[in-house]
Amino acid sequence: MIIGVPKEDGKVENRSAIVPNDVKRLVRLGASVQVENGLGTKAGFSDQEYLDAGAAVVEDPTAILQSSDIILRIRKPAKDQIPKIKKGSIHVSFLDPFNEKELIEELRANDVTAISMEMIPRTTLAQKMDALSSQANLAGYVMVILACQKLPSIMPMMMTPAGTLKPATVFVIGAGVAGLQAIATAKRLGAKVVAFDTRPVVAEQVHSLGAKFLDIDLGEMAQTKDGYAVELTPDQIALQKAGQKKQIADSDVVITTAQVFGRKPPVLVTKDMVSEMKAGSVIVDMAAESGGNVEGSVAGETIELDGVTIIGDGNWTNFVAKDAS
């Protein structure tokens, strides 16, 4: 069996779909592994490390696509690459299947079995393969660090000869995997943290991290069997906006992580809410790439609106590519 790993588009992706340690494991199991030269450079892995692990380093990405039984990558393939993929092979990556139906159909028509990492269930049995949650965990950490860089004040309370500096207030909307990590990271940095989630069941987890849970009555709420939040009704979204408006105005940092699996995320922070925040405040919109939780956020960009910095970078784990690979 030949496992091939082509290089990602370096303009948008720093991560590598396989690291040298995993190459060693696959080679021990009897697989042949071939990687494109420069595969792990942006993630901190040299070609020599892959060679030492037992992989063949190949210069021609087309040769990898045409000869591999299994292809591993981070992102979906470019459309012009699909005809080059060996028929009967297996392609494993994040595929965004809800929005890339045409691409999925092209893979099927080319007799390629496509495995989308987003669709791995969040169960104990599949936990080690749950790449989506692993990436979300790292994203939660990165969002707090980016907010710290843009915030013109410090996170923790600090006593100085000149007086006492108050801790920053961080409001996290959405207490899923990314949200919980954002809460934990902000607390470790000394911030005062408040969080909200549409699933009251996660309040205990929020409290266990030392944060306050903002209680907003949205009526009866539920979650999917995989632990995802269900889509809110328009009335419930209006209730949430009203309930969190004052907290947003009082916060130095707002981090939004509210996403509905397979759907466009709800807009929860309006321009009116942004205008009421203090000058120098920071908003990080995790959902910017898929539509955004924040009105006015721009995917892949950091902008300023009414004196508030809004970060919508999107590929958060790119900043920690070595650990995210």
pLDDT on residue 228: 62
pLDDT on residue 10: 67
Query: Domain residue spans in the chain?
Result: 2-119, 131-324
pLDDT on residue 11: 79
Report whether pLDDT(201) > 90: no
Give the type of residue at 11.
K
Between vectors from CA 305 to CA 299 and to CA 310, what angle results, nearest 5°? 40
Report whether pLDDT(182) > 60: yes
Can you read off the two tokens belonging to residue 264?
Answer: 């466009």
For the residues 224-236, what does the mean pLDDT come to?
A: 71
pLDDT on residue 232: 79
Report whether pLDDT(227) > 80: no
Torsion of CA 114, 115, 116, 120, to 10 degrees: 160
Share of the chain above pLDDT 70, in %: 96
**Residue 226 — very low, low, confident or very high, per pLDDT cuts 50/70/90?**
low
Report, in angstroms and rounded to the nearest whole number, the Rg of the chain calculated over CA atoms. 22
**Mean pLDDT estimate for the chain:** 93
pLDDT on residue 221: 64
Output 76-85 pairs: Cβ under 8 A, ≥24 positions apart.
76/100, 76/103, 77/103, 77/107, 78/9, 79/103, 79/106, 82/106, 82/107, 82/110, 82/112, 83/110, 85/110, 85/112
Longest dimension (CA), the chain: 71
Give the three-class secondary structure for 258.
coil
Return the higher-pLDDT residue of 263 and 189: 189
Rounded distance, CA 318 to CA 324, Å? Answer: 8
DSSP per-residue string spanning 68-119? -SEEE-SSPPPGGGGGGSPTT-EEEE---TTT-HHHHHHHHHTT-EEEEGGG
Of 35-39, 178-182, 255-259, where does mean pLDDT reach its minimum? Answer: 255-259
Rounded distance, CA 278 to CA 281, Å? Answer: 6
Rounded distance, CA 145 to CA 150, Å? Answer: 9
Alpha helices in the chain (DSSP H): 20-28, 47-53, 61-67, 101-109, 131-150, 177-188, 203-208, 234-250, 271-275, 321-324
> What is the architecture, at CATH level 2, of domain 2-119?
3-Layer(aba) Sandwich (3.40)
> Catalytic residue numbers?
122, 127, 130, 133, 228
For the residues 274-295, what does the mean pLDDT come to?
A: 95
pLDDT on residue 218: 81
Query: Number of H helices and number of E strands within the chain?
Result: 10, 15
Can you read off the two tokens belonging to residue 272?
Answer: 């009116």
Residue with tokens 């104990």: 124
**Residue 216 — very low, low, confident or very high, per pLDDT cuts 50/70/90?**
confident
* Cα–Cα nearest to 139, from 147, 129, 151, 150: 147
Output 131-136 pairs: Cβ under 8 A, ≥24 positions apart.
131/94, 132/94, 133/177, 134/324, 135/317, 135/324, 136/176, 136/177, 136/178, 136/181
Residue 296 neighbours by CB distance under 10 Å: 18
For the residues 201-205, what does the mean pLDDT come to?
A: 93
Kindly report, residue by residue over 149-165, the tens digit of the pLDDT: 999 999 999 999 999 99
Report the length, in residues, of the chain.
325
Do residues 172 and 193 make contact, with C-beta atoms less than 8 angstroms apart?
yes
pLDDT on residue 126: 86
Whether 2-119 shares its CATH topology with 131-324 is answered yes
The CATH class given to the 131-324 domain equals alpha beta
